[in-house]
Structure 1
């Protein structure tokens, strides 16, 4: 029973650190010190170390022997890969939503988009954005596609956190409207319009990040 409890505690620790990252308490590049975290959460360093390893597998944390753990800072290559992979997954999801989504699925998408109208903080807007895309993949009715999204979901959240760390100009005003347009295109079962709108939505975030992210010295 003890090993199971330790794994459960590590999961709880990971959840709390993840939440702190998503809330902006630990921005990209921030140091995650085991001693401080264990003291703040009143746990030993073992579960903290295991929790950080779980977050490392999600892509949220990077652990190096000479630096310890830090919140992942996305490189230009990371940004480009996430942008293109997310695009490939979302394009497939859009086709499936247009073909298969029920009225209930589409109503849920509209509800998640409406939540953005009430968001008054960039971090809350990012949460709403991720929740909307969760609903898109759920509405697609494709289990393995949903699992593929889930595998990069935290990294996409970090991608959007990076976006708002670089600029929040017009962010709260523009994002809700973009998502209402996405819902309208999906309701109309217009795959071409939906694909174009999703691509434009992704591109808006990508261009902000790409303009503020240095490429590696190798140029790769």
Structure 2
């Protein structure tokens, strides 16, 4: 059975990368699963060249791992990967939260609040992960710091994979927990309490980290 539909524009490696990325993000390809060029080219109805280029792009994003004797697989995060992503994400979020509290407009905060409210409509873990990423996209956008935004974009796909890996370990109480945590994050940002907001963001990150390292 084909796991993906045909690409709309043949020969476009960026679109092929988008299709494969979405298949990883919605769980059709799990961490550690093989990504075979022949199968992907047949499923997407493109030649193997764009597929190869797409896999190289996704490898640069950290979503794909390639070994000469195994080919390409969806990246399976090691404990070191998890620790490094958590610490780097934490460092970036400290600056983002401080800037949002210091200078975000009401429109910025309303957009952040809207992304949190969208979590009420998420009814699967993978949908909730997308909402979680969208919330943090809005926080970084509200920080109004172009280089910080670029740093977030550089690890965004890997953080998405981090969260997918987290729900692969356990989904017990996950949907409501994430909704509640993000309502609290919005409230802290609205109050303008930087210390309180930083504490809640750190707790939010720690919950996912603990599932991956202690579960």
2:209 counterpart residue number: 206
Alignment of 1:57 with 2:53, yes or no, is: no
CA pair 7-79 structure 1, distance change in 2 beyond 3 A: farther
How far apart, in 2, do the equivalents of 1:99 and 1:143 lie?
A: 16
Structure 2 gaps, min length 5:
1-8
How far apart, in 2, do the equivalents of 1:8 and 1:82 lie?
A: 33
How far apart, in 1, do the equivalents of 2:28 and 2:13 lie?
A: 20
Alignment of 1:92 with 2:95, yes or no, is: yes
2:61 touches 2:155 (CA, 8 Å); kept in 1?
A: yes
How far apart, in 2, do the equivalents of 1:9 and 1:198 lie?
A: 39
How far apart, in 2, do the equivalents of 1:103 and 1:16 lie?
A: 35
How far apart, in 2, do the equivalents of 1:118 and 1:112 lie?
A: 11
TM-score under structure 1 length normalisation: 0.92
1:188 counterpart residue number: 191
| TM-aligned CA deviation for residue 7 of structure 1 | 11
How far apart, in 1, do the equivalents of 2:73 and 2:17 lie?
A: 14
Regions of 4+ moved over 3 Å? none
2:6 counterpart residue number: none
How far apart, in 2, do the equivalents of 1:121 and 1:197 lie?
A: 24
| TM-aligned CA deviation for residue 8 of structure 1 | 7.0
TM-score under structure 2 length normalisation: 0.95
How far apart, in 2, do the equivalents of 1:209 and 1:59 lie?
A: 18
Aligned residues: 207
